[in-house]
Amino acid sequence: MPELPEVEVLRRDLLIRLPKPSRIRRLLFLSPKLRTPLKLPKSMHDKPLVVTGIQRRSKFLIFTLDQGVLVSHLGMSGCWRAETVRSEIKHDHVIIEWENGDLWVYNDPRRFGVFEFHPDLSKVKWFSQLGLEPFSDEFLAKPVIDKIRGSDRAIKSIIMDAKVMVGVGNIYASEALFKAGINPLKTGKQVSSERIQRLLICIRETLSKAIEGGGSSIRDYAHASGEKGNFQNEHLVYGRSGEKCTHCGSKIQAKKIQGRSTFWCRKCQS
């Protein structure tokens, strides 16, 4: 599943490609088979749609309109591609046809994605219980540290909990914990405030570097151009079970935590 860096890279890519003026000629729904039904209110069918910006909240893209917002989540395997000539590809679900003739196409083989219209951003159900953004001013504050320290759950599970913080998926949780030197199996209560503070900084640094590297292309993720990300080549522990740790030479360990594969170095992470 694309995580925060991949969605942020895609947002920036699409923002650069946003036509001027950014008027949608047609919004085509080729298939209703995503996580939620694809539809616009009847009152908007004959009205021009003008996109005024593209934002990100957690792993969601938000296309801002004069009349509301279009909310997109890539699910497990979704991607947006930009093209000037329609290339019909299996599992295309949504087409944004711009007035200048450009096309943005949403493709999703596994159909776990979301594409919805909402008249009011504050009432989008997906956002009602989301935690802090890792790049927000509040992210390094004491309440976040105290929340983590008060939990009996494995610390990797805590930082992947979208109610605590958003956008930290399986890849970047393993990478940040390695950089912070924290064993992912330890509970929040077993980690000192100082080490949690260090972990939060490492989360920010890891996500920032992943964005700079164009995100991680493990399976389906690609930029709007179809180009792959490069950050998977810089992973220190994720997907490297049995390989040598780049710091100490020990073998990278792997174990499932709540059904997700977790990677760490037994020597470097205590």
Domain ranges in the chain?
Answer: 4-127, 142-265
103-117, 140-154, 177-191, 192-206: which range is least confident on average? 103-117
Decide if 111 contacts 79 (C-beta within 8 A).
no
Helices within the chain (DSSP H only): 4-17, 142-149, 155-159, 170-180, 193-212
Contacts of 133 (CB under 8 A, 6+ apart): 57, 58, 139, 165, 166, 167
2-6, 71-75, 122-126, 222-226: which range is least confident on average? 222-226
Residue 236: the pLDDT is 96
Residue 218: the pLDDT is 67
Contacts of 268 (CB under 8 A, 6+ apart): 178, 181, 245, 247, 248, 250
Sign of CA dihedral 269, 238, 242, 250: negative
Q: Which of 105, 107, 111, 61 is nearest to 85 (CA)?
A: 105
* Residue, of 40 and 25, whose pLDDT is higher: 25
pLDDT band at 247 (very low <50, low <70, confident <90, very high): very high
Report, as residue numbers or ranges, the catalytic residues.
Answer: 2-3, 59, 260
Domain 4-127 CATH superfamily:
MutM-like, N-terminal (3.20.190.10)
Question: Which pTM was predicted?
Answer: 0.93
pLDDT band at 219 (very low <50, low <70, confident <90, very high): low
142-265 matches 4-127 in CATH topology? no
pLDDT band at 146 (very low <50, low <70, confident <90, very high): very high
Structure tokens at 188: 């929040």
* Burial (CB count within 10 angstroms: exposed 0-12, middle 13-18, buried 19+), residue 123: exposed
User: For the domain with range 142-265, which CATH number is right: 3.10.50.30, 1.10.443.10, 1.10.3720.10, 1.10.8.50?
Assistant: 1.10.8.50
Residue 259: the pLDDT is 83
Number of C-beta neighbours around residue 34 at 10 A: 23
Structure tokens at 265: 């170095």
pLDDT band at 255 (very low <50, low <70, confident <90, very high): very high
* Residue, of 44 and 246, whose pLDDT is higher: 246
